[in-house]
Amino acid sequence: MRGVFIKLVTGVEGEIRVPGDKSISHRAALLGGMAHGETHVSNFLLGQDCLSTLRCLKQLGVSSERQGTEVWIRGEGMEAWTEPTDVLDAGNSGTTSRLMLGVLAGSPFAVTLTGDESLRSRPMRRVTDPLKQMGAQIVGRNNGNLAPLTMMGGQLQGRAFQTTVASAQVKSAIILAGLRASGETRVEEPALSRDHTERMLRGFGVEVLSEKTVVRVHGGGRLTGQDVSVPGDISSAAFFLVLGSLVGRGKIILPNVGVNPTRTGILDVLRAMGADIELIDVSEICGEPRATLCVRPAQLKGIEIGGDMIPRLIDEIPILAVAASLAEGETVIRDAGELRVKETDRIRTVAEGLNALGAKVEELPDGLRIQGQQSLRGGQANSLGDHRLAMAWAIAGMLSKEGVSVEDMAAADVSYPDFLAVIKKVAR
């Protein structure tokens, strides 16, 4: 099998500025496009997913300019968006597709939205059903559940929803539609998911009421262009938190990482496992807290996680599973059935991928049971086009006796374009 070979490293040292947060970059572009006046975004993530959001906006008549990681979006309000002359392609991005459907539900024109093979297999009824109930017309394969989806937006009516999964994409799609609906729109979720949309909307001048797991907005709010400084992505930092914990020696410093409490489950869990992670220089800019993280090696022990913790670290479970396979004792992850509908079925792909490297992982219906070991053998792994698997396997390679050959490492470009160069730089 061909692939990128990642070999065992005995130490690490250095400072890594992880790229901008994916969720926040998407929202900055989208809200910038909905606002009146210019929005300037700094530290925008140049991953394929966020570029998909910019490309879709362009097709809707929203122009932007980019210089490195700085983006300027010329917003003229949602009323100025125009019917696209071709299909919108969200690529691999669940966030682009679901949030975009939310905004477009209030636009009086037809749009067809599609994506790559993975996105076309991911469930969309969770957003199309509520948007239909608010008044949008949507048709698609599998009774409106699978892209390509065609939507005819228009007059929306605010409603109250109780979602069955804690999903920020669903919550955000409903809130964004609610901004264009008459009356109040209310979303209650079973556990709190990431709240970047709520925070950023307030920054753009819209009133959003949040109380525990309930969010309410009124239609008719006007967004005004802003300066948005995107913090580093904790989901990208997580790979180095695990590497820095399990490598033999050295220290990794990660400046400017977003530490919004709806995203810091990985810090809480790694620390509960025994990790030595320090948070310094905590500050809040543009409504989003950030800090410098410093990680040093430590013996990790197994843990049981589930419940409300899961939405706070859902994207970090692949790399957490690598950590658990090198911890002392058993780790059990439950209530994480959502992993089955991510870029891949991450319960199956993580279990099969890690077992092929010599780990002992059992697939559970809604999670994983992992027996920690002193070492991993290594071998061959495949990202299956899933960015987080590509990076998890590369880190596993740096911690495995025989290293790991990663097939389709390029998948990492979705959220971390220079990942390979960075891990080479930090290895000692």
Question: Residues with catalytic annotation?
Answer: 315
Stretch that binds ligand S3P, among 162-170, 239-247, 263-271, 299-307 (CB under 6 A): 162-170
Among 67, 60, 68, 57, residue whose Cα is nearest residue 32:
57
Question: Strand 404-407 and strand 379-382: pairing?
Answer: parallel
Q: Give yes or no for residue 168 binding ligand S3P (CB under 6 A).
A: yes
Q: Who's near 372: CB < 8 A, 6+ residues apart?
A: 300, 301, 302, 324, 325, 326, 327, 328, 329, 330, 331
Which residue reads 């008549």 in tokens?
Answer: 61
- How many alpha carbons lie under 13 Å from residue 35 in its C-beta half-sphere? 27
Binding string, 4-33, against ligand S3P, x = CB under 6 A? -------------------x--x-------
Contact between 96 and ligand S3P per CB under 6 A: no
Least CB distance from residue 26 to ligand S3P, whole Å? 6
State the DSSP code for 18. Answer: P
Nearer to ligand S3P, 93 or 405 (CB): 93
Q: Which stretch binds ligand S3P (CB under 6 A): 30-38, 112-120, 164-172, 180-188?
A: 164-172
Residue (235 or 325) nearer to ligand S3P, CB = 235
The residue (of 338 and 366) whose beta carbon lies closer to ligand S3P is: 338
| 314 binding ligand S3P? (CB under 6 A) | yes
Distance of closest approach, residue 99 Cβ to ligand S3P, in angstroms: 7
User: Do 302 and 273 contact (CB within 8 A), yes or no?
Assistant: yes
Q: How far is the CB of 337 from ligand S3P (least distance, A)?
A: 11
Among candidates 233, 316, 236, 231, which has minimal Cα distance to 269?
Answer: 316
**Binding-site member from 39, 52, 92, 95 for ligand S3P (CB under 6 A):** 95
Give 169 or 400: the residue with its C-beta nearer to ligand S3P. Answer: 169
Least separation in angstroms between residue 90's CB and ligand S3P is 13
Q: Which member of 163, 167, 229, 260 binds ligand S3P (CB under 6 A)?
A: 167
Cα 151 from chain centroid?
25
Size of the site for ligand S3P (CB under 6 A): 12
**How many Å separate Cα 189 from the centre of its chain?**
18
Identify residues 185-214 at the interface with ligand S3P (CB under 6 A): 194
* Contact predicate 303/275, CB 8 Å: no
**In sequence order, what E strands does 259-416 have?**
276-285, 288-296, 304-305, 330-333, 360-364, 367-371, 379-382, 404-407
Question: Which residues sit at the interface with ligand S3P, rule CB under 6 A?
Answer: 23, 26, 94-95, 167-169, 172, 194, 314-315, 338
